[in-house]
Every structure is written in structure tokens, then in C-alpha cells.
Amino acid sequence: MAKHVLDYDPIEDIEDMSITRTELDKLGQQRRENDLKRIAQTDFGLRFLQSLVAGTGAVSYEIFNGNSKDFYQMGRRSVGLEILESLSRASLDLEQAVRRPTTPPYEITEEEVKRSIKTLREKR
């Protein structure tokens, strides 16, 4: 059975120990990008990434209140921005999908309910 392109692990191609640290780091980055793409290909993976990034305040500009919580909020936002940067390196489309979800990640839409009811009826 053929592997999906994102199931490919670049480490599998290492033939001997003469590989440099820089090459290993590059392969590790490629593995990370493949993992992110694979996770985001699923509806649940994309929803989770959207929720995770939204929870960090990375896409919000209302984090500075002029009090002691600012440092905490800046730290959270920094983590969210790192996640967005990783997503951007993996795929610009992926980063945009996580940054700008069409609906809040865990909001159930009327269309989803209709699809679910239709699927259940078809199974009966």
C-alpha cells in the first residue's frame, strides 16, 4: 500500500551516520511541518489548532490593559505567534485557516446539525 505524502518521514532516508547536525535539523523541521499538515487535514485537528491559537490571544489586539496581567498576556501571545509561525512555514494556507476560522472552532453550526441528521437517517 502506497504511503500518503504526509506519512513520509524524512528520517527513513538516512543511510549512514555521516549526516551532519545541520542536515538532521533540516529533516527534523521537515518532519514537524509534515506533522502539522497532517493534523490540520482533519476537521478535528484544524478545530483544535484554531482553538489553541485563539486561546493564546495571538490574533487579538486587546491584550494590553496597563496592569500586571500584561506580562502574562504577552507570554501567551508569544506562544500563539510561535505556533502561527510554525504553521506558516508548513503552509501559508494552513496558517490563514487557523488564524481566520470561518466560525468559532467549537461553535456548532445549523448546517452541521442538518448534515448529521441526514447521515443518521441514511444509516437507518
Tell me the pLDDT tens digit for each residue of 7-54: 666 666 666 666 777 888 888 888 888 888 888 888 889 889 988 898
- Lowest mean pLDDT segment, chosen from 63-67, 102-106, 120-124: 102-106
Domain range for 79? 5-123
Contact assessment for residue 39 and residue 45, using Cβ atoms and an 8 Å cutoff: yes
Q: In angstroms, what CA-CA distances link 78 with 27, 48, 81?
A: 25, 18, 5
Q: How many domains does the chain have?
A: 1
pTM value? 0.64
Tens of pLDDT, residue by residue over 72-111, are 888 989 999 999 999 898 888 888 888 887 666 677 778 8
Taking residues 103-124, what's their average pLDDT? 81
**27 CB-near residues (< 8 Å, 6+ apart):** 10, 11, 14
